[in-house]
Amino acid sequence: MLKMMNPFGSMPSVPGVGGDDKKEDDMTKEEKQEQEKLRLDAIKEQERKRQQRYKKQDEEREGMRGDIRNKYNIEKKANEEEEEEEDDDEMDSFGAGKKKDEVPDDPVAQAKAVAEKGLNDAKNMFGSFFK
C-alpha cells in the first residue's frame, strides 16, 4: 500500500546516473597540469582572436564613418581620437583593467570630496520634488 502512495517507491534505478567518472582519477598530476595549461592556452588564443576580430570591425566602422564625414563635410571630434588612444592602451594591458583615479593623500580633501558628493546626490534626488 505504501508503494501505491509513493510514486517513486517502485521506480527502478537508472544506470549511469551516478558520478562514477574514472577518467579524471586515472590521470597523473603532471597530466592534469598539462591539460590545464592547454586549456588556458586555448582560452588566451580565443581571446586574442576575438580582440583582433573586434579591432578589424572597429577599423571598418571608422572607415565608414570617415566616408560619411567626407560626404557631409563633418569634422572629426577631438575626443574620438583620445578615446581610440585609450582603447588601444586598454588592449595593450589586457586583464589589467582601467587605472584607478588618484586619491589625494590629504584626509581633509578626501572628506570634503565625499561631503560634496553626498550633498550633490541629495540635491539631485530631492530636486525633482521641488520643480
Domain limits at 71?
50-92
In a domain, 70, yes or no: yes
CB 94 within 8 A of CB 51: yes
Q: How confident is the model at residue 105 (pLDDT cuts 50, 70, 90)?
A: confident
Q: Indicate whether 103 pLDDT > 60.
A: no
Residue 99: per-residue pLDDT: 59
Backbone phi, then psi, for 35, in 5-degree steps? -65, -40
Q: How many domains does the chain have?
A: 1
In a domain, 120, yes or no: no
In a domain, 58, yes or no: yes
Residue 102: per-residue pLDDT: 63
Mean residue pLDDT across the chain: 78
Q: Indicate whether 58 pLDDT > 90.
A: yes
Q: Indicate whether 34 pLDDT > 90.
A: yes
SS3 call for 51: helix
**Cα–Cα distance for residue pair 96/92, rounded to 1 Å:** 9
Of 93, 104, 97, 65, nearest to 81 by C-alpha is 65
CB 69 within 8 A of CB 76: yes
In a domain, 111, yes or no: no
Q: Of the ranges 45-49, 86-90, 105-109, which one carries the lowest mean pLDDT score?
A: 86-90
